[in-house]
Amino acid sequence: MTVFLRVACGAQFENNAPPTEAAMENLNMSSFFRFVYGLARRGYPGHWLARAIESILENRAESSVVPAPKRPFEPIRRLEADDLICLTPFSTEFEVLASLWRPVLPFPIASLKLLQPEEIGRCVCASCNA
């Protein structure tokens, strides 16, 4: 879960550069799936990777990680024991990407949260229908 949260949230450091030169962290979730795919190709057990993805999809991930430090290379603090993490802010993007990556991943993902391909193209947010 630590890797997922580091990728999803990114580092929280101050950037005084003008907007045209600021580092943008787009496609973080997609890079997480590339990372998982790479782990699977290197021999990590598929059931471990599937369980991690399923726990994120079902919003029942546990971790002892805390928010990233302001500077990217500071040591990470940890909590005493694992605690449930609310992943709701990432759920829609993660569900879509997991559904798109499902045919490519060399292991099955068993979750009711996965979307069918025809559901992905449909815009469901209220602001998009205006």
Q: Spell out the domain ranges in the chain.
A: 2-129
Per-residue model confidence (pLDDT) at position 38: 93
| pLDDT, average across residues 67-80 | 61
- pLDDT category at 130 given cuts 50, 70, 90 is very low
Residue 127: pLDDT over 90 = no
β-pairing, 62-65 vs 78-84, is: antiparallel
> Is residue 43 left, alpha or beta, with left meaning phi > 0 and alpha meaning psi from -120 to 50?
left
Distances (CA, A) of 20 to 15, 17, 24, 70, 87: 12, 8, 10, 21, 30
